């Protein structure tokens, strides 16, 4: 497959229209990875990834007081097993403190990979 001037123009049009990379690929007869690569090489404006979560400070998120935190403590088969029980963040099963433990922001994940490689 050759990137002709016409195909590049169509790629730019579809990209500017906000079409998903998979759809652009289907229309042009290429893979979505080929689309992403060409967009990058052309220097087109980046769009937010549909799978990346935004960097949210959990402390400023509204707490849902109707549900208890589901962070487990102990062995489920042993006496004394229990859940945290604190109010949870909206849309999450855990309280703010346990969300900080359960969810790693993308920038912190990259730092962890660098630390392991060293």
The domain locations on the chain are 5-42, 58-117
pTM for this entry: 0.44
pLDDT tens digits, one per residue of 14-60: 999 989 999 999 999 999 999 999 999 999 888 876 665 555 554 57
Task: Say yes or no to pLDDT of 113 above 80.
Answer: no
Q: What is the pLDDT of residues 76-90, one digit of tens each?
A: 888 889 999 888 888
3-state secondary structure of 82: strand
Quote the CA–CA distance of 93 and 84 in Å, as a whole number: 11
Nearest to 72, CA basis, from 56, 93, 54, 87: 93
Rounded to whole angstroms, the Cα distance separating 56 from 95 reads 15
pLDDT at 70 over 80: yes
Q: What is the pLDDT of residue 54?
A: 55
Amino acid 63: pLDDT? 59
In 3D space, the residue among 12, 41, 45, 96 whose CA is nearest the CA of residue 24 turns out to be 12
């Amino acid at each position: 497959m050759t990137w002709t001037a016409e195909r590049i123009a169509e790629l730019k049009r579809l990209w500017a229209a906000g079409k998903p990379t998979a759809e652009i690929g289907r229309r042009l007869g290429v893979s979505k990875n080929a689309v992403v690569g060409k967009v990058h090489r052309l220097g087109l404006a980046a769009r937010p990834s549909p799978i990346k979560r935004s960097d949210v400070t959990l402390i400023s998120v509204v707490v849902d007081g109707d549900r208890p935190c589901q962070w487990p403590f102990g062995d489920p088969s042993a006496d004394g097993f229990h859940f945290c029980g604190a109010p949870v963040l909206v849309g999450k099963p855990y309280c703010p403190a346990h969300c900080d433990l359960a969810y790693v922001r993308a920038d912190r994940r990259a730092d962890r990979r660098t630390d392991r490689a060293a």
